[in-house]
Amino acid sequence: MKLEMFDTTLRDGAQTEGVSFSVSDKLAVVRTLDEFGVRYIEAGNPGSNPKDMEFFKTAAGLKLKNARLVAFGSTKRKNIAVRDDANVMSLLDAGTAAVAVFGKSWDLHATEILNTTLEENLNCVRETVKFFKDNGKEVIFDAEHFFDGYKNNPAYAMLVLEAAKGGGADVLVLCDTNGGTLPMQVYAVVKTVVEAFPGMRVGIHCHNDSGCAVASSMMAVEAGGCHVQGTFMGIGERCGNADLTVIIPNLQLKGGYECIAGNLETLCETEIKIAEIANLTVPSNKPYVGESAFAHKGGMHIDGVDKLSRSFEHVDPSLVGNSRKFLLSEVSGKKAVLLKVGDIAPELTKDSPETAMILERLKELEHEGYQFEAADASFELLVKKVIGRFRPHFELSMYKASSESPAPDGEMNSNAMIKIKVDGSAETTAAVGNGPVNALDAALRKALCVFYPVLSDVHLIDYKVRVLETGDATGSRVRVLIESTDGHRKWITVGVSTDIIEASFAALVDSLEYKLCTVEAAATV
């Protein structure tokens, strides 16, 4: 069965604290959503601000292959003719084939917020819907606060839907505007409405104030709803809206519904693209699309997934464009180690003594504060050291790093000196930097480049410090993670010490040793 997915990232999503889309952002999101294949894109309130109106004027030239653009606005104000309502007219001016009109369905709102009579509110709904139908629009009627309204005065809430139907509405959308309704209540009310309006398309619009927006939207479909409103990233007013990136794969992969015209395998890239435009980060633990959604860390889980992926995965990550990850750590077992060392020591098995030795060393170092799940390069060096395949490329004789304040040389407040030996030849260098680690990095690289010019391509792109035991204040151990690149590849290394410079130096040394090992390995192929 086909369902209509109605995306309101650009309208309700734009009501999120901290989110604001420019006209060009909106155009980029519309193209992305159209490609992904949602049926409707509610892209703004033309009556609210000139930016949204400019957007609709610009978007009139867009050729969309899957989606219909929707302009959003309220019913006419009380006691005036529809034509005299500026908001309504701006909605018409937006020039979209479909409009979403919201009207009050909670009697309390009609009397206390609109300050009108229950009858006049019905009139506003009926006449506004009819006006848009007379102007050839597809009308999606959003019954604002429907669930609270139904709870308070079910007969009146149903009369509001009757009024919208009477005006010619194409879809009746039941809104949980305050987000307080629970999924089983949503199911019961939607079922009642579906039965009371046979042949009408019934939709759902849930806010997430009880953390149930996705579940409630799915229950609405279970009760006979065929139109689901929501947003990418679940953004929206207050706690957000129902998250389409969870609803769509749930309904499509598990419910057997057809939700989108495009390819579900583009779900992850669509979410990431829209998040970037909105200047947001996708939480790593987000279902389906988060970076950790298919990241396995427990040793038994890794072993299980390697034997049979569905033993620990609810769906195949590739179905939503995500990928599986195995993380190495103190909770790893031998299988996790084997999966990581395949390129370095393919001969190892679960029974090899070296496998147990690698695992033991890994757990010892993690106990000291190391963390290898991101630091693949340091792990590779650890493996080589344990199995006796590591030859250091230099020997450290000494280093010294210091800072002074105020800086004697503008920004450069630090200097470092280092002495190393390579095959018996000594090299001593000094460098300045804007901090002691920066100076030490420059001095080490300068010394090593004398022997290994290839290292001149390597530079650091990220540097993270984490205090491990905060109770020891300035005497605490720290973990330093360094990300490096040679312009082609990136790798991460780790160092731990109570001395932040020593921890940084260890991570730096691993980074440069790793690069030299990969150059050597490439030369022997």
Identify whether the C-beta of residue 397 lies closer than 8 Å to the C-beta of residue 426: yes
For ligand ACO, the binding residue among 9, 16, 32, 45 (CB under 6 A) is: 45
Which residue lies nearer to ligand ACO by CB, 12 or 107?
A: 12
Going by DSSP bridges, is the β-strand pair 459-467/425-433 parallel, antiparallel, or unpaired?
A: unpaired
Q: Which residues pair with 46 in a beta bridge?
A: none
Q: Does 177 bind ligand PYR (CB under 6 A)?
A: yes
Task: Return all residues near 324 (Cβ < 8 A) that are at least 6 apart.
Answer: 294, 295, 296, 305, 309, 313, 317
Count interface residues toward ligand PYR (CB under 6 A).
Answer: 8
Identify whether the C-beta of residue 493 lies closer than 8 Å to the C-beta of residue 510: yes
Identify whether the C-beta of residue 153 lies closer than 8 Å to the C-beta of residue 121: no
Q: Does 366 bind ligand PYR (CB under 6 A)?
A: no
Alpha carbon dihedral 150, 151, 155, 161, in 10-degree steps, equals: 0
Whether cis (ω within 30° of 0) applies to the bond prior to 406 is yes
User: 222-281: which residues touch ligand ACO (CB under 6 A)?
Assistant: 237
Query: Any idea which residue has 């889980």 for tokens?
Result: 301
Which residue lies nearer to ligand ACO by CB, 104 or 515?
A: 104
Beta strands in 217-257 (DSSP E): 227-230
Q: Does 322 bind ligand ACO (CB under 6 A)?
A: no
Nearest residue (beta carbon) to ligand ACO: 48
Q: Does 142 bind ligand PYR (CB under 6 A)?
A: yes
User: 194-213: which residues touch ligand PYR (CB under 6 A)?
Assistant: 205, 207
Which residue lies nearer to ligand ACO by CB, 42 or 373?
A: 42
The one of ligand ACO, ligand PYR, none whose footprint includes residue 319, by CB under 5 to 8 A per kind, is none
In whole angstroms, give the CA distance from residue 503 to residue 495: 4
Q: Does 205 bind ligand ACO (CB under 6 A)?
A: no
The one of ligand PYR, ligand ACO, none whose footprint includes residue 47, by CB under 5 to 8 A per kind, is ligand ACO
The one of ligand PYR, ligand ACO, none whose footprint includes residue 205, by CB under 5 to 8 A per kind, is ligand PYR
In whole angstroms, give the CA distance from residue 52 to residue 35: 22
Query: Any idea which residue has 């939700």 for tokens?
Result: 259
> Closest Cα to residue 175, out of 195, 193, 197, 200?
193
Say how many residues make up the chain.
525
For ligand ACO, the binding residue among 104, 334, 384, 515 (CB under 6 A) is: 104
Q: Does 126 bind ligand ACO (CB under 6 A)?
A: no
Identify whether the C-beta of residue 390 lies closer than 8 Å to the C-beta of residue 381: yes
In this structure, what token pair is assigned to residue 184? Answer: 């089983």
Minimum distance from residue 12 beta carbon to ligand PYR (Å): 5
Minimum distance from residue 26 beta carbon to ligand ACO (Å): 15
In whole angstroms, give the CA distance from residue 128 to residue 88: 8
Q: Does 175 bind ligand PYR (CB under 6 A)?
A: yes
What's the count of helices (H) and strands (E) in the chain, helices before strands? 17, 16
Q: Does 380 bind ligand PYR (CB under 6 A)?
A: no
Which residue lies nearer to ligand ACO by CB, 143 or 460?
A: 143
In this structure, what token pair is assigned to residue 414? Answer: 């630090």
In whole angstroms, give the CA distance from residue 525 to residue 516: 15
State the binding string over 99-138 for ligand PYR (x if CB under 6 A, else -). Answer: ---x------------------------------------
Which residue lies nearer to ligand ACO by CB, 124 or 247?
A: 124
In this structure, what token pair is assigned to residue 323? Answer: 């990928």
Q: Does 114 bind ligand ACO (CB under 6 A)?
A: yes
User: How far is C-alpha 355 from the geometric centre of its chain's CA atoms?
Assistant: 36
Q: Does 317 bind ligand ACO (CB under 6 A)?
A: no
Task: Return all residues near 18 (Cβ < 8 A) that are at least 6 apart.
Answer: none
Which range binds ligand ACO by CB under 6 A, 41-49, 63-71, 454-462, 486-494? 41-49
The one of ligand ACO, ligand PYR, none whose footprint includes residue 113, by CB under 5 to 8 A per kind, is ligand ACO
The one of ligand ACO, ligand PYR, none whose footprint includes residue 114, by CB under 5 to 8 A per kind, is ligand ACO
Which range binds ligand ACO by CB under 6 A, 100-108, 290-298, 382-390, 495-503? 100-108
Minimum distance from residue 42 beta carbon to ligand PYR (Å): 9
State the binding string over 137-176 for ligand ACO (x if CB under 6 A, else -). Answer: -------x--------------------------------
Query: Any idea which residue has 């309504």 for tokens?
Result: 88
Which range binds ligand ACO by CB under 6 A, 43-51, 326-334, 385-393, 470-478? 43-51
* Neighbour order of strands in the sheet with 425-433: 395-403, 414-422, 425-433
Minimum distance from residue 370 beta carbon to ligand PYR (Å): 48
Identify whether the C-beta of residue 71 lies closer than 8 Å to the C-beta of residue 56: yes
Q: Where does residue 254 rank: exposed (0-12), middle (13-18), buried (19+ CB within 10 A)?
A: exposed
For the chain, the distance separating the N- and C-terminal CA atoms, rounded to the nearest angstrom, is: 54
Which residue lies nearer to ligand ACO by CB, 45 or 378?
A: 45
Q: Does 208 bind ligand ACO (CB under 6 A)?
A: no
- Binding interface with ligand PYR (CB under 6 A): 12, 102, 142, 144, 175, 177, 205, 207
- Binding interface with ligand ACO (CB under 6 A): 12, 15, 45, 47-48, 74-75, 77, 87, 102-104, 113-114, 144, 177, 237
